[in-house]
Amino acid sequence: MTVLQSAPTQIPPFARILQLAMSSWVAAAVSAVAELAVADALAEGPRDVEDLAKELDADPTNLYRLLRACADLELFEEREGRVFALAEVGQALRSDAPDSMRNFARWVGTPAERNTWTGLADSVRTGRSVFESVHGKPVWEYMRDNPKTAEIFDLAMTDTSSQVTTPVVKAYDYSSFRKVVDVGGGHGQLLAAVLAANPQAQGVLFDQPQVVAGAGAEFEKVGVQDRVEIAGGDFLESVPAGGDAYLVVNVLHNWEDKKAEVILSRIREAMAEDGRVLIVAVVMPADGNEGLTVKLMDLNMMAHADGVQRSEAQYEELFAKAGLKLSRILPGGGLCSIVEAVRA
């Protein structure tokens, strides 16, 4: 996933700054068409704006203006007579697309996400996240008290997890594991895929009670529901015991080092003697010359929750504090890697 492309050399500096500063408007437009479910409405073929507006309960003039702009973003194709069709990229905004990112795009447009970025400079000044100063309470309390926003967030995380599920299952040999615990696993999409590919394994899905309350469908879909236990709790206090593999997918980057150390320590206390911790994450490049997307993700974590997109060296240091050691890092498909740790 590319966030911003390199600037063509012929663009003067002022124009490039304007282009970069306006990129938040692009995100807002993409989020708007995702929230309106325009791609779903165009799934069966091209339609004129008046017809679309009736179905979407939208103003036809303003809907046209939005779709016209998004056609320049290559999400749609504008045809004669104010008719629009889905372009190839826009297909990924369909709710039923296998690579759907609709809910992630919706999340980017929520006040919880968008308004937090307005405090980025303060985060740099203070060295702390700004979510509480912007929204009045820490991020996880906010989610607890705003269930509709939390639901969009959970769906957005499912979107991003969906894109790594197949590559992560293929990239690692799970055949020796008997009990796989997915820590902070949401609705269990990755765990379901791991169990489907490894019939010898049992699974435990562990997340906050209100999150796992919506789990179950993923396991039934692939026929592994009889091999799964669903458990709710707080991984800062404890995690289910006895696993020989603990999956931690896009979780640790939400937490600053001290709390990330606590999470890993709880896993070490619970894991089998010869167990493995498998962290699926986007690892910060070591050379500092690549990875704009990762660096922007790091800023997002910084502003929201004092989180960090960690480098290999940072993982080594964090593991050591939790009584673990880095054993290897494997490519996990796309930007993600599988960071494996064992008991020190």
Q: Does 187 qualify as catalytic in the annotation?
A: no
- 155, containing H or E segment: helix 147-171
The 10 Å Cβ neighbour count of residue 333 is 18
Q: Tell me how far apart the terminal alpha carbons of the chain are, to the nearest angstrom.
A: 35
| Radius of gyration from C-alpha coordinates of the chain | 21
Q: Determine the Cα–Cα distance for residues 127 and 216; give it in Å rounded to an integer.
A: 40
Strands ordered across the beta sheet of 76-79: 47-48, 83-86, 76-79
Catalytic residue (choose from 135, 187, 253, 304): 253
Yes or no: say if 341 and 252 are a contact pair by the CB < 8 Å rule: no
With H, G, I as helix, E, B as strand and everything else as coil, classify residue 77: strand
Strand-pair partners of 121: none
- State the DSSP code for 284: B
Kindly list the catalytic residues: 253
